[in-house]
Amino acid sequence: MYAKNLKELSYQDVLEAGGKGASLGEMLQNGFPIPEGFVVLATTFEKFLEQAGIEAEIDSVLSTVKIENMDTVEAASEKIKHLISNATIPKKIANEINNKFAKLDAEFVAVRSSATAEDSSDAAWAGQLDTFLNSTKKDLLLNVQKCWASLFSPRAIFYRFEKKLDKEKVSVAVVVQKMLQSDSSGIAFSVHPVTEDRDQILIEVGLGLGEAIVSGSVTPDSFVISKKDNSIDSKNINTQTRKLVRTDKKGVDWVEISEPLASSQKISDSDLLNLSREVAKIESHYKFPVDVEWAIEDDIIYITQSRPITTLSGKSQNTEDNIPQKGWVKYWEAPLIPMYPFFSLRLDNLNGYLSGFDYPYRQLLLTYSEGIMACYYHSEDLNRFEEFMSQYLQDIDNVKNFEKQIDKLLTQVDEIKKVTLFNTKKVLKLRKIYDEMHVCFGVIKVGGDVYINEDVFNKLLALRKRTEKVYFILENVLREIANQISSETNLKIEEALAMNYEEVLEYFSTKTLASKENLSKRKESLYLHITPNGFVELSQKHAENIIDNSTEQLHSKIVRGQASHKGIVQARVVVIRDFSLQHTFPEGSVLVTGMTDPRFVPLMKKASAIVTDAGGLLCHAAIVSRELKIPCVVGTQNATQAFKDGDLVEVDANIGIVRILKNNDIPKLDWIKFLERRRSCFIYHPFIEAEFFHLKKATGFKYTKHMYKWEGDKGTHYRSASELQESLDHFITAVQEDYPKVITWKDLCLKWDRRANDLIKLFESEKKKSVTINEFKKYYDEFVQILLYTVTIPYLTLSSIDAAIEKGESEQRYASILKEFEPLRGLATHSKLERSMLSHFWNLISQNCNIENVDLIDKLNPKEIIDFTEGIPLPSIEELKQRKKWCVFWHNLETNNISYEYDKEIITEIPVLQEKIVNSKNIISGTTAYPGCVRGTVCRIDNFKDIKKYKKGQIIVSINTNPDLMSALHSAKAIVSDEGGITSHAAIVARELKKPCIIGTKIATKVLKDGDLVEVDANIGIVKILEKNKEIS
């Protein structure tokens, strides 16, 4: 088939009919007044080139174009147009075009080019290609051939290269339509193209054929029409002295216009308003602003073309000053993809869904940050909607009609979720589903809150349960769209997920992509004020100020909401905003979240109470809480901001109030798990003293953020990721700018290492069987210095150099420092000293503190021991027992003391960025199974077959080891595993073979690849990537 009738085409046929042809076909299929016609398909043009044997020659000529040199553009154009014009159209193609023309039964036709990359958001081909009016059977084929050649006119070639389409496949179809002898014609914009007011339609009108206005040859009358009530806002009447008309002799020609017609209005008011209605319908159909060419012949309005408006910024003319600063109500919150709001929250498409109620929502505030979407409606809109719904739902026929609407919506959702390959038509259908869903869910939510009667409430409750999974089904559909776009383009999936509706539609229509830069910004955060006119983007600070102003209870110890199931509970809070992240949720905690959905049910069953920011009596949280019979307060607006993990609260759902009884004071920072080892709890305290009180004096840098968790016999050291990075930055600056100072550090490191060895000999000798209090103070102070100089300073110095080299700096620059510090890498004397001196400390403490249980003595911190000798009481035995079982301790900067927390529920989830690897993702932490420090290349081994690739002396990295791998483990330099504890196979074998081993890294096999050069420092439980295997990377 070489040609298709317009009525056989739709918007999804852009690749064969071009943008113009596909758009005309779409409108004709949907009842718009379009002159009859057909399209010579783009594949026909390609067939013509193939049979003429000129494709390669055209490509060769295009390769000579230098866009900065117009001579090359014009020369290429002349050569290519000559090739096309002198080629013969194959007989089969010519016959089919002539047959289609005959069936039109028209003496004259308009022949227009229609590019297959036409009218995208970044590339508008309008005016780049040729149009031939008043064509007859005699010159039809010639004009078709001229349209094909116009794809290579100088302006089209320049445009192709300017828009970077020179490497893309751009073809051309040709639209052939009955020629109108229009009395008047013009262009209409469904959004004012200058002010970008989405409430206004701009219409330009001239007498005669429309090409006069399109080409700018006449100054048309212009009219602004209000969309709100289809009334004329303004008129600008100009004098038109000539018009373009069809003639028998020359095809088209100019004729003079005499007065008073020349200065009169060129269209009647009634035709003008009828035309504006057609334009509004076209925009509503396509769901984006349109530029429409039209004509009137014998008092009948015809649409001759429609395309997207490509010049809008996307922002409305609203300013931040026009946005209400108070009165915003959080309507819903959920972890959603950034594509989601662009499909579901277009207020200009909601008008008319509810009979007798225009624009359910006239404005909203949308925030997207860290994967969480929150939607705020203004209280004026909600009050207005509630007032309408209280009347609307009293008519049982409205309720029945609404039930049918839900049935229809669910059927459409079932159909769309089965789609495996999306195109323009299916994207348009999905958008319609989203619009209907948004209004339907609003009716259910607001209807449940106004509570007409028990029967209506139960009907809405049943509808809420039937529709509760629709959000997730449609989000999965959007993910499928993003996956498809990503697989077909160079976009990453997360970038495709940030495309807005217009960009998605544009891609499927014309295969044109949005800016990657804009998508990258949008996927991180988004703050919008949306009205039916469009949107204005807000700064994060402004959006947060508006929300704070609207939430008077934000800084109060009492949060109020709507009680959905009565009861009173006192318990610790767990705040969950993004369910996709892993969370620890102790039984009996209070679940605080933006809003719940079916995924939350397992947690809700463990909760003692539920508190949400958003929702009403028919929200998911309210329904489930009534079924589970647990207290629930919904619609608090800001519970997720007012409370933090571990706060002790009272939920009084009898009156809809949540009170804070005790705050969780543990600092909530960007904690990362830095070190995890089974060692004395006591020994963590000198680390704190070394890095808080002595590091700054020695190097100029001071750590201020440490936290330790002790559970059973295992201690975990947490650092702030940002502060750790600051320390590396500080040390690399010292290395680069103060060589003598750094060498002094090295000398002190060696000095304190020698002192450690001396103390080891002392404590292991027969002479030293006990220590006095004064000796304890002296040895403890020395041990602090030993940790500072044999652990902290070497680690930070070498790590900062490694980080600099990994960022691209020359290793040679740091050669001298590395030579000096390499002997300090992985010093382990402090570990030996720790073991040899502790037994002496325990004897001293038990003698002076009357505590015989060594396990409990271990839970004292050094300051408490020294204070005791000065008359200050020790912590109680009960407190020490609690520390032994579970505790968290950290240096409290306000009191300059060690602070403890014993309530395990207070840390339902220490916000550890377990998989966030600092230093450009080149450090992996785990638990030491056997100490030591080695360097080597990685070999990933997960099963017996993998041993074939192993080379003696490599570092084995595995999910977990097993006896099948023993032949390799015997000769490995070190062992690293994702999983396992201190009794795992890897740990046992490492101790037997005395090989450095780090277990439980969680991510080593995901990050490390065969051939990576790494350092395994099992003295402190970290694996450092020194050089990635570039071939595999």
Q: What's the pLDDT score for residue 568?
A: 93
Query: Could you tell me the sign of the dihedral formed by the alpha carbons of 646, 330, 411, 511, in that order?
Result: negative
Q: What's the pLDDT score for residue 510?
A: 75
CA distance 619 to 467: 11
**Mean pLDDT value across residues 940-951:** 84
Whether 5 has a pLDDT exceeding 90, the answer reads yes
DSSP 797-859: HHHHHHHHHHTT--GGGGHHHHHHHGGGTT--HHHHHHHHHHHHHHHHHHHHH----HHHHTT
CA distance 259 to 240: 9
**Mean pLDDT value across residues 296-324:** 72
Q: What's the pLDDT score for residue 915?
A: 37
Higher local confidence (pLDDT), 533 or 754:
754
Confidence of residue 456 (pLDDT cuts 50, 70, 90): confident
**Mean pLDDT value across residues 8-16:** 83
Helix extents (H) in 246-395: 269-286, 339-344, 379-392
- Choice among 229-233, 587-591, 941-945, 1003-1007 with the minimum mean pLDDT: 941-945
H or E, element range at 58:
helix 55-62
Average pLDDT score, the chain = 81
**607: its two tokens:** 């909760």
**Mean pLDDT value across residues 323-348:** 69
φ, ψ for residue 438, nearest 5 deg: -60, -45
Q: What's the pLDDT score for residue 984?
A: 64
Q: What's the pLDDT score for residue 967?
A: 78
Q: What's the pLDDT score for residue 30?
A: 85
CA distance 885 to 190: 70
Whether 910 has a pLDDT exceeding 60, the answer reads no
Going by their DSSP bridges, the two strands 933-940 and 955-958 should be labelled as: parallel
Higher local confidence (pLDDT), 641 or 665:
641
Confidence of residue 954 (pLDDT cuts 50, 70, 90): very high
CA distance 449 to 308: 41
**Mean pLDDT value across residues 487-496:** 87
CA distance 325 to 185: 46
Q: Which percentage of the chain shows pLDDT scores above 90?
A: 18
Whether 521 has a pLDDT exceeding 50, the answer reads yes
- Choice among 80-94, 293-307, 422-436, 532-546 with the minimum mean pLDDT: 532-546
Assess contact for 317 and 323: CB atoms under 8 A. no
Q: What's the pLDDT score for residue 929?
A: 77
Could you report the per-residue pLDDT of 57-110, keeping only the tens digit for each?
Answer: 988 998 888 877 878 888 898 999 999 999 999 999 999 999 999 999 888 899
**Helix (H/G/I), strand (E/B), else coil: 205:** strand
Q: Which percentage of the chain shows pLDDT scores above 70?
A: 84
Q: What's the pLDDT score for residue 328?
A: 85
**564: its two tokens:** 């959905």
What is the rounded end-to-end Cα distance, in angstroms, of the chain?
48
Residue whose tokens read 């001396």: 758
Q: Which residues contact 73 (CB under 8 A, 6 or more apart)?
A: 65, 67, 154, 157, 158, 161
Q: What's the pLDDT score for residue 827?
A: 63
Could you report the per-residue pLDDT of 994-1004, keeping only the tens digit for each?
Answer: 899 998 787 88
Whether 118 has a pLDDT exceeding 50, the answer reads no
Q: What's the pLDDT score for residue 246?
A: 80
Would you mind telling me the total number of residues written for the chain in this entry?
1033
DSSP letter for 945, please: G
Q: What's the pLDDT score for residue 91?
A: 93
Please name every residue paired with 177 in a beta bridge, in sequence order, or none if there are none. 37, 110
Going by their DSSP bridges, the two strands 372-378 and 364-369 should be labelled as: antiparallel
Whether 750 has a pLDDT exceeding 50, the answer reads yes
Q: What's the pLDDT score for residue 580?
A: 61
Cα three-residue angle 614-616-621, rounded to 5 degrees:
75
Helices then strands, each counted (H, E), the chain: 37, 39
Higher local confidence (pLDDT), 623 or 347:
623
Higher local confidence (pLDDT), 412 or 666:
412
Q: What's the pLDDT score for residue 358?
A: 56
Whether 501 has a pLDDT exceeding 80, the answer reads no
Q: Could you tell me how far CA 242 lies from the centroid of its own chain? A: 55
- In order of start, what are the domains of the chain with their CATH numbers? 3-178 (3.30.1490.20), 184-308 (3.30.470.20), 320-546 (no CATH), 552-662 (3.50.30.10), 671-907 (no CATH), 922-1027 (3.50.30.10)
Whether 930 has a pLDDT exceeding 80, the answer reads yes
Q: What is the 3-state secondary structure (H, E, C) of 686-733?
A: HHHHHHHHHHHHHHCCCCCCEEEEEECCEEEEEEEHHHHHHHHHHHHH
Confidence of residue 430 (pLDDT cuts 50, 70, 90): confident
Confidence of residue 400 (pLDDT cuts 50, 70, 90): confident
Confidence of residue 312 (pLDDT cuts 50, 70, 90): low
Confidence of residue 814 (pLDDT cuts 50, 70, 90): confident
Whether 639 has a pLDDT exceeding 60, the answer reads yes
Whether 54 has a pLDDT exceeding 80, the answer reads yes
Whether 331 has a pLDDT exceeding 60, the answer reads yes
Q: What's the pLDDT score for residue 505?
A: 80
Q: What's the pLDDT score for residue 685?
A: 73
Residue whose tokens read 């309408």: 388
Q: What's the pLDDT score for residue 1001?
A: 82
Q: What's the pLDDT score for residue 258?
A: 92
Q: What's the pLDDT score for residue 490?
A: 85
Please name every residue paired with 114 in a beta bridge, in sequence order, or none if there are none. 173
Assess contact for 12 and 153: CB atoms under 8 A. no
